[in-house]
Structure 1
């Protein structure tokens, strides 16, 4: 009887086939990362003598965590600005850009929206948080330089996930961009719509950056 029971157990195991290896659980602690994003506005009469305008300020931050893919970012130098980028750069209105980012999220190209609600005088600072994921480890953040025709400061597509893990902290100068939609030559020039619109381009590097983006992983 004992021999018969052993035989039945062996036959049952054979019928079930080989026992598969159990896949290790993903490391939930590193699947996503939460970052504090601070824009340090350093633009002042001291850093930019002769061109610093009265009422200098920056619009609320707007950004997204997204795939490290050309089609997933908020803009591309060398291509025309979207309506969202145009409105942000010209008048500091983020409504259309917010909708564009939400569309990217729906399409799976972006992960989270960074939607700042406060502007700041310059010098000054703006702070918000945003979560990134392994499949969306890049980050783009923009803010209008004001007053200006259509100029904006940006942090673009910094991949914060390296081969050794998430970057703990980073501080980089903001890139100064011309949206290509207004031809005014100076900060306080009246509206001069560019027809047809020109591609977005990095403006000539001023004497000093207008600000810095500081990124700190907080979770």
Structure 2
């Protein structure tokens, strides 16, 4: 069983911001793509999940970036699962630039849910055993919670069909894009991020509308969003350069 996975990507024009750097959503997209492909290799990917009435959902992820790769740059994502934290499966990521320099690291937590009620399942419910990488390190300690602050919404984002993922929910990377959008709206220009920790709390789907609010404290940005029901969908804490 291969407990370590390497995947290569090239930054495309549509994944870059005004400066030509990889957008925040692009970072998240590459990480979740590598995770999904590794899960498939391990026998716990989309096909197996659909047969068994299960889905993986990303619960939280913290990413730190040394720099952003540029258009046409080839990057490598190294990833491995490394054990369980209660109901969460832990997964780590290391991102390497074309010159061989480490440009980012990330730690994440994933939940296994049963369909159709989306109840958390024990990871022992999986029909195959995941590799024991418990000796490999966590890159970051993630916050237990990032509580919502009840901030006044300043950005209204209709959820469209094209923004949803294979599970029929707003794609994980879209939330990262909202954080970048909010920072650009408040600070102007093209914001440069050094880190972001994103907690996914409740799924939304079209035709819902996300109401997004946030606040800066120096270069630290807190962002939260909720759907029409008022239930908090996500919270995030980011640091800008």
TM-score range, shorter chain: under 0.3
* TM-score for both structures, normalised by structure 2: 0.25
Give the greater-gyration-radius structure (CA).
1
* TM-score for both structures, normalised by structure 1: 0.26
Higher relative contact order (CA 8 A, sep 6+): 1
